[in-house]
Amino acid sequence: MKLKILKTDKAPAAIGPYSQAIAYGNLLFCSGQIPLDSKTGEMVAGGIKNQAERVMENIAAVLNEAGIGFNDVIKTTIYLTDMADFAVVNEVYGAYFPEHKPSRSTVAVSSLPRGSLLEVEVIASL
């Protein structure tokens, strides 16, 4: 099996030496998304709700580039700098998974790139 690197300008460009996503076999491994605007490369304004919405839209763009959607997500990992934001993030996240519920982990971390309040990564089936 060969690796296929996926890239879309509808999600923020990688800010380091990594790919937005890698397809391998029937799996898509999406790098963690932080709330960067894909057009400006800047962090979105507003608090945790705005950031969570931007992150999920960035993930949607990467999934779309692979020809799949949120119903194809198998596993997610959410990184939060403050677990007090869990309920708000959970509400936003849940709107993208109204019926299909992938497995998930949520982890508290001390900091994230560019001062982001959260980061989300997904693994999906192609």
To the nearest 10°, report the CA torsion of 75, 77, 6, 1. Answer: -50
Burial class (CB in 10 A: 0-12, 13-18, 19+), 12: buried
Question: Residue 21's domain spans which residues?
Answer: 3-125
pLDDT per residue, tens digit, the chain (126 aa), is: 799 999 999 999 988 899 999 999 999 999 999 999 999 999 999 999 999 999 999 999 999 999 999 999 999 999 999 999 999 999 999 999 999 999 999 999 999 999 999 999 999 999
User: How high is the pLDDT of residue 1?
Assistant: 77
Structure tokens given for 4: 């296929």
User: How high is the pLDDT of residue 91?
Assistant: 98
**What CATH number is attached to the domain comprising 52?**
3.30.1330.40
User: How high is the pLDDT of residue 120?
Assistant: 98
Structure tokens given for 17: 């030496």
Cα separation, 80 vs 57, in Å, equals: 17
Residue whose token pair is 């709107």: 95
Number of domains in the chain: 1
Q: Answer yes or no: are the C-beta atoms of 20 and 14 closer than 8 Å.
A: yes
